[in-house]
Amino acid sequence: MGNMLVGVDGEMGNTLVSVDGELGNMLVGVDGEMGNMLVGVNGEMGNMLGGLDGKMGNMLVGADGEMGNTLVGLDGELGNKLVGVGGKMGNTLVGLDGKIGNMLVGADGEMGNTLVGVDGELGNKLVGVGGEMGNMLVGVDGKIGNMLVGVGGEMGNTLVSADGELGNKLVGVDGEMGNMLVGVDGELGNKLVGVGGKMGNMQVGADGEMGNMQGGLDGKMGNKLLGVGGEMGNMLVGVDGKIGNMLVGVGGEMGNTLVSVDGELGNKLVGVNGEMGNTLVGVDGELGNKLVGVDGEMGNMLVGVDGEMGNMLVGLDGKMGNMLVGVGGKMGNMQVGADGVMGNTLVGVDGEMGNMLVGLDGKMGNMLVSR
């Protein structure tokens, strides 16, 4: 040790240079403390250590092998900036200021191999690739894990948040409930997206309440729910089975726009604004399977195909059923009105009293025609 030692001023050994052999083969210091700048080539931990001012080892750089072989710091505490390549947890750690490990980046292996933070707490920004929960975590500011992103496996493998609370934005691919959760701000799970399996596997919200936008593929009530703003379930879309499997709304009250395929009452409901069910559309089975309205009261425009009274009802404005049209069977299957009172213009085809009734204005039945 000390094969080549050169000093400039001050203390003995301020500038030390060695070639081979012992720890500190190449040591260079400028001023202040002994060994402020130390550089080594090979062998032991710390073969290459360099500091600028202040503490010994503020800047340490290593190549391979042990944890901390490559450590780089700027100011403050030892190891503010640490960079490693492979092997042990924390082999690659990078920080800017404040706490040791503010910025940590790893490639593979152990939990936290890839961790990146900017300021504040340890691990504000963490990114991982595979394996353990939190392998990929990314945060911006505030709490640890504000932004977490994972790929497969455990719940929360992919979590992404922007600000505020832990897990505001979570995205997963498969497996457990919440594998894919995405939120923007405010509450946990404002935006949740899933693919298969559990209730809420696919949920997406924009702002406000949890689950403003939810989408699912199979099985549970609300498997596919989509909303834009305001209340939970403004836009809900489902595929099979349960009431409300397919619900789509734009604004205002829950269920303004509901669309379903088969089974329950209101399987297909579509509305634009105002009250729940302004526009309802169904395919088969129950009363009101196909109902369509534009504005005002529920059922201003109702259209049905078969079966129940009012299967085909169409209205424009004002009262429910101003314009009603039906095809077969029941009283009033075909009724059409223009304005004013329900049934101003009624037309029927066969069978029941009033199957063919036509009026222009005023009272019901001003003009009546039957066969």
Q: What is the pLDDT tens value at each position of the chain, 371 positions in all?
A: 333 344 333 333 333 433 333 333 334 333 333 333 333 333 333 333 333 333 333 333 333 333 333 333 333 333 333 333 332 333 333 333 323 333 333 333 233 333 333 333 333 333 333 333 333 333 333 333 333 333 333 333 333 333 333 333 333 333 233 333 333 333 333 333 333 323 333 333 333 333 333 333 332 333 233 333 323 332 333 333 233 333 333 333 333 333 333 333 333 333 333 333 333 333 332 333 333 333 333 333 333 333 233 333 333 333 333 333 333 333 333 333 333 333 333 333 333 333 333 333 333 333 333 33
Residues 27 and 174 both lie in one domain? yes
Residues 159 and 293 both lie in one domain? no
pLDDT for 91 equals: 30
CA distance 315 to 292: 9
Residues 150 and 265 both lie in one domain? no
Question: Which H, E and C letters describe 5-20, residue by residue?
Answer: ECCCCCCCCCCECCCC
Residues 111 and 239 both lie in one domain? no
3-class state of residue 258 by DSSP: strand
Residues 6 and 138 both lie in one domain? yes
Token pair 């009724």 in the structure block, residue: 335
User: What one-letter code names the amino acid at 211?
Assistant: G
- The DSSP code sequence of 104-151 is B---SSSTTSSB---SSSTTSBB---SSSTTSSEE--SSSTTSBB---
Residues 58 and 158 both lie in one domain? yes
CA distance 127 to 187: 23
Residues 90 and 144 both lie in one domain? yes
- Which residues pair with residue 147 across a beta bridge? 125, 169
Residue at 135 is within a domain: yes
Residue at 91 is within a domain: yes
pLDDT for 154 equals: 34
The last residue of one of the domains, among 180, 200, 220, is 200
What's the number of domains the chain is made of? 2
Residues 192 and 304 both lie in one domain? no
pLDDT for 227 equals: 32
Residues 114 and 185 both lie in one domain? yes
Residue at 126 is within a domain: yes
The last residue of one of the domains, among 200, 218, 249, is 200
pLDDT for 1 equals: 34
pLDDT for 216 equals: 32
CA distance 91 to 40: 19
Residue at 218 is within a domain: no
Report the Cα–Cα distance between both ends of the chain, in Å, rounded. Answer: 119
> Domain of 151?
1-200
Contact predicate 160/172, CB 8 Å: no
CA distance 278 to 105: 54
Residues 123 and 248 both lie in one domain? no
Tokens of 332: 């009033």
Residue at 217 is within a domain: no
pLDDT for 195 equals: 32
pLDDT for 177 equals: 33
Residues 91 and 175 both lie in one domain? yes
Residues 16 and 85 both lie in one domain? yes
